[in-house]
Structure 1
Amino acid sequence: MASSSLAPRSPLAVFALVFLPFALGHYLSCLLRAINAVLTAQLLGSVALTPSQLGLLTSVFFVAFALVQLPIGMALDRYGASRVQCWLMLVAALGIWLFGRSHSFAELLWARALMGAGLGGCFMAAVKAVSGAVAPARLPSVHGYLIAAGGLGAATATLPVRLALAYTDWRGLFAALALAVLACALLIRVLAPAAAPPVAGASQGSLRAVCRDRAFRRTVSLMLLPHSVFFGLQGLWLGRWLSDVGGYDDAAVAYLLYLGMAAVIFGAIAVGMLAQWAARRGMAPLQLAAIGLTLFVAVQFAMACNSRPSLPLLSVLFVLLGTVAGLDYAIVAQSLPPGLTGRAATCLNLLIFTGAFVVQAGFGLVLGCWPVNALHQYPPQAYSAAFGVLAALQVPGLLLFFIGRHRRAGPSGKMMACTAAMINSKEDYETRSLWTSRQGKTRPDR
């Protein structure tokens, strides 16, 4: 039976009862999302698959994942994260088990789609759960830890999975993963606090209300395209760029991509801690994100230059600075009413997945304007054009943000900024005091 609807009263309880079960779900989701890349040879050896079928089998996960985002968001706001996530993980466990017992392309396809639908709410449920259990000022750092858990899951889908295949085949591996997902669902059911009764009228919010929210629109206008570029290029074209332009072999590319996964883990934690540090000094998370994304776009312009000696460093910097885009989830969760955080997070997730698909396809279309050589490699000029176009498309969003911020500051910008910082500090203190008093504490968090 789930715990009471009251949020945990200590940081240790928040970690053990809220963060850990939901972070484990996100970890498993990212592991299963990336695992097909490692199991390609085993799948082809067991089931006769054409290259197009293999590609469809991998991408159907993302299709199902995207289709369930909005329904999951509405369910999270209405029924709470623990109840929704528990049922979704049972669906995912069924899909994983069926995938391990499939013997044809059709069976694998439907099982993979069921898996994607069941795992589609892992990160969003985690965002919803921690948003109700953590003080607003700490959300960026906690969200950074969640993203780091996902990066660890993606890293586990590489070398650790290869090592596991020395002891079992891919079918045994999926059976073990199905048990792991079931165990995670049980942890969430037993440990995670049940949702508090919804505030009157809160469930009446709609996606239209989310899209009309000024904070949501400002966040999307600044961060959606960079987040889509980060997600889209890291998952497909970054490795191809290292191979075609840098001339690195498969082992070297795999090593550099593995360093990139380590950079995701480190970067997500560092960005969250930096956002919390900056907030205590009066800097809004969106302003910090704009500075980080400016550096991210500068790295992409440098990548367009195709300087071979700098390719390894740029590939790691691209992933490291790209984690700044993950602040959009925390900014949205801080800005919107609690009754809309589930819908807002899943709406943002759907936009990012759609944007990543457009970025991947568009990048390929630009490369296709140049012929390939005998090794099926695109020339450096093709990558220069593709990276240059993407970087240029992100510049207007940054300019609009900084111009709008300058206009809002007005002629006495420094005085207004100082006053705003004092007001924000007071409001932050009052918010923390109210939050801690509700948890039964005797003093505000430091």
Structure 2
Amino acid sequence: MGQMKTVGKKAWGYRYVILVAVWLLYVINYFDRTSVLIFLPMIRDDLGLTPAEAGFGASIFFFAYAFAQISGGWLADRIGPKKVMGIAIVVFSGVTFLTGLVRSYTQFIWIRLFLGLGEGHHFAPAHKTIANWFPKKEKGTATSFFSTAWAFGPAIIPMIITALAAAFGSWRPVFYVLAVPGLLGMFILWYFVSNKPEEMLKKGRMTQEEFDYIQDGLVSDKTVEGQKGGMSIVVRDKNFWIYSLVLFCNLAIYWGSTTWISSFLYDQHHFSIKTMGAMVSLPYVVAIIAMLLGGRLTDKVFKNKTKPVLLISYIFSIPVLFYVGMVPTGNVPIIITMLVLLGFFVNLSFGAVYAYPQIRYSKDIVGSAVGLSNGFGQLGSFVSPLIAGFLVVKTASGYSYTGAFIFFAALSVLASIGTLFLKEDKFVLNKQSQSVNNSGTNI
């Protein structure tokens, strides 16, 4: 058995093919949503929107996205994550194409709503796939690698799409081009991805040793195996709601800053669109390193404990977010430094925060746990850009985003407090219900 575990752990197994495939699919997902935010100043001017209207247009995506998380997790537990991701790719690719045709504020709102519904059915199934394919000891690393999709995407997307916009002379044709990667995503999903390791074992694409290694390390619980009421189970856990609050703040900080960073650089610091594209990429290049480091710290240094990494991320983010909006216009070295620090500390948490439900909950209900918690968490992504839009102040020289970044710093304070109360031991149903005895648990 010891030799089997060694082989499974060290070999380049098919689980890594699954991870890379799911990662690529999510990068494609991010091309669509990030492009709207990068072009938000231009869309705002083209459609004649106020900053508050533009903020609402950006935020409404996350309103639909939040509710789609819940149904996405529910469907992933019932019909399998692969089918749900396939539907999601078809929908968000089609809506991306239609984005280039938007001519009014009302159309912009509807496009953002449907994009949120499409992309919202992608996230929980992706995590369900990772939960099915990776043992507990590797979940922090696997989840942190997957999380780099939403750093890698924003790191390269601004430079690519701003170059395309410059070549086309408009932002609109860019969205026609961005619908094409969805076709590639459909092929990757169809050929490389399966719901569970058993399917690839039968096809001969993975070894018996790797299969046994994965099965031996999965988070399971006999008290919930085969049960259909995943959501009704996880909501009994008080820590689930604490975690959901922390995730709410985490996503509010990330998407609040991501939504407004391009406008902040364009309006407050008066960078050209080309320079702005390069500057916006900077924090996300750093974020890739931070996310990978956060996952390794969770697995290797803190031994599957997420709280230390979360606290480091949130506490150090407070002064960074507080000051970044106060950097004087024209002080390029300081703004670059603050963007680097923002990219590192805000994103250090992602591997840990999304590893938490995979470590705490059984693989049988993790889809529901991720979907419901991320549905609640994505409400933070909805309200944060919206509130920040009202905190943007018009000045004689343009706009000031100081109040918006102070708001993001306050969210980091709340996330730190919530993390202190978070428990990390595996959730066992028999501790919450008198009808289940202790003999029903198996890790």
How do 1:105-184 and structure 2 match up within 5 A?
109-165=109-165, 173-184=174-185
CA distance in 1, matches of 2:44, 2:321: 36
Displacement of 1:27: 0.5
The residue that corresponds to 1:19 in the other structure is: 19
CA distance in 1, matches of 2:40, 2:323: 33
1:396 to 1:276, Cα distance in 2 relative to 1, 3 A:
closer
1:42-100, Cα deviation, whole Å (9 max, x unpaired): 8689xx73315766654443333223111111001111111211122122233234445
Q: Kindly state the Cα deviation for residue 166 of structure 1 after the two structures are TM-superposed.
A: 5.5
Q: 2:376 matched to which residue of 1?
A: 351
Structure 1 residue 273, shift from structure 2 partner? 2.1
| 2:305 aligned with 1:284 | yes
1:129-156, Cα deviation, whole Å (9 max, x unpaired): 1111112111111111112122222233
TM superposition shift of 1:290: 2.2
Return 5+ residue gaps in structure 2 as ranges: 1-7, 200-219, 426-441
| Pairs within 5 Å for 1:34-113 | 34-39=34-39, 49-51=47-49, 58-100=58-100, 109-113=109-113
Q: Take 2:395 and 2:41, find their aligned partners in 1: how far apart are those partners? A: 26
Measure how far apart 1:31 and its partner are.
Answer: 1.2
Cα separation, 1, equivalents of 2:162 and 2:124: 29
Indicate conservation of the 8 Å contact 2:294/2:349, yes or no: no
**Is 2:151–2:284's contact at 8 Å kept on the other side of the alignment?**
yes
User: What is the letter of the counterpart of residue 25 of structure 1?
Assistant: L
Give 3-state SS (helix, strand or coil) of 1:338's partner: coil
Residue deviations 1:275-317, cap 9 Å, x none? 22214xx462223322333222343456588687755423321
Bigger Cα Rg: 1
- Whether the aligned pair in 2 keeps the contact of 1:64 and 1:116 (CA below 8 Å) is yes
Cα distance in 2 for partners of 1:220, 1:29 equals: 23
Whether 1:267 aligns to 2:268 is no
Larger RCO of the pair (alpha carbons < 8 Å, separation 6+): 2
Counterpart of 2:370 in 1: which secondary structure? Answer: helix
- What are the Cα deviations for residues 184-211 of structure 1, in whole angstroms up to 9, with x where unaligned? 1232123211457998853422424223
Match of residue 257 from structure 2: 233
- Contact persistence 1:95–1:115 (CA under 8 A): yes
The corresponding residue for 2:193 is 192
Alpha-carbon distance in structure 2 between the residues aligned to 1:191 and 1:310: 45
Residues 357 and 384 from structure 1, CA distance in 2 versus in 1: closer, same or farther, beyond 3 angstroms? Answer: closer
Listed as ranges, the matches of 1:405-424 within 5 Å are none
Tell me the alpha carbon deviations over residues 238-268 of structure 1, each in whole angstroms, 9 at most, x when there is no partner. 8638965xx5645666544321121222211
CA offset at residue 219 of structure 1? Answer: 3.2
* Alpha-carbon distance change, 154 to 203 in structure 1, aligned in 2, over 3 angstroms: farther
**Does structure 1 conserve the Cα–Cα contact (< 8 Å) formed by 2:394 and 2:400?**
yes
More displaced stretch, 119-128 vs 235-244: 235-244
Instruction: Label 1:205 to 1:324 Cα distance change in 2 as closer, same or farther (>3 A).
Output: farther
Alignment of 1:212-251 (within 5 A): 212-220=236-244, 222=246, 224-236=248-260, 240=264, 244=268, 249-250=271-272
Residue 372 to residue 36, structure 1, CA distance change in 2 (3 Å): closer
The size of the alignment, in residue pairs, is 388
**What is aligned with 1:33?**
33
Equivalent residue for 1:418? none
Q: Percent identity?
A: 18
Stretch of structure 1 that moved more, 117-126 or 298-307 = 298-307
CA contact (8 A) 1:223 1:325 kept: no
Question: Match for residue 338 of structure 1?
Answer: 363
Seen in structure 2, the aligned counterparts of structure 1 residues 165 and 358 have a Cα distance that, compared at 3 Å, is closer
The RMSD of aligned alpha carbons is 4.0
**Could you state the TM-score of these two structures normalised by the residue count of structure 1?**
0.72
Question: Partner residue of 1:436?
Answer: none
Structure 1, unaligned runs of 5 or more: 1-7, 409-429, 432-446
